[in-house]
Structure 1
Amino acid sequence: MAGGWARDGAVQDQIDASVEDAVAEARSRLGAGESAAFCEECDRPIPEARRKAIPGVRLCINCQAEIEKQETASGGINRRGSKDSQLR
């Protein structure tokens, strides 16, 4: 049930669009091509299993985890919509 001027199903359409955007972003991050034998950050060998599992991988697990931790700490999407969360 939609409220106001929104049509029925508008909320679900918004949820679907958000999911599609997240999937598209995740797919854009996937590498392609031949994987590197050594990490581009620390120059340690990348295990064969990782190179086979993720095509085009360039970083070892530790360096990748550190980068992802920094990305998630730097920001995000405001889903609450409260004034307090918008003032940050």
Structure 2
Amino acid sequence: MADIADFANDLVQERIDQALAARSAFKPALPGHSLLFCESCDDPIPEARRLAQQGCTQCVNCQSIDEMREARHAR
């Protein structure tokens, strides 16, 4: 039988879930800063790429490799 503590825990968990969902929904709207160096190979990321693709973390070559890998695994 549920008591008042169970109801309180459920309410708190519901509020936490709502706050996390709101935070996650807001995140994509704010692109992060691009990295100066690729996180995979440590090569410099060209300024043109960093400006065109805000929030990029990989150079074009490493990004292409990751996308091909993801496409292969999506099948």
Quote the offset at 1:68 in angstroms: 0.2
Give the TM-score, by structure 2 length: 0.58
**Separation in structure 2 between the aligned mates of residue 44 and residue 59 of structure 1, nearest angstrom:** 9
State the Cα deviation string for residues 48-83 of structure 1 (Å, max 9, x = none).
00000011110000000000000001124xxxxxxx
**Separation in structure 1 between the aligned mates of residue 60 and residue 31 of structure 2, nearest angstrom:** 17
**Separation in structure 2 between the aligned mates of residue 75 and residue 58 of structure 1, nearest angstrom:** 22
What is the match of residue 19 of structure 1? none
Quote the offset at 1:33 in angstroms: 1.7
RMSD of aligned C-alpha atoms?
2.1
What is the match of residue 8 of structure 1? none
Unaligned runs of 5+ in 1: 1-27, 77-88
Higher fraction of helix? 2
**Separation in structure 1 between the aligned mates of residue 50 and residue 60 of structure 2, nearest angstrom:** 11
What is the match of residue 39 of structure 2? 40
**Separation in structure 2 between the aligned mates of residue 65 and residue 46 of structure 1, nearest angstrom:** 14
**Separation in structure 2 between the aligned mates of residue 51 and residue 36 of structure 1, nearest angstrom:** 7
Q: 1:46 is aligned with what amino acid? A: I
Identity across the alignment (%): 46
What is the match of residue 52 of structure 1? 51
What is the match of residue 67 of structure 1? 66
Task: Give 4+ residue runs of structure 1 displaced > 4 Å after superposition.
Answer: none
Structure number, greater radius of gyration: 2
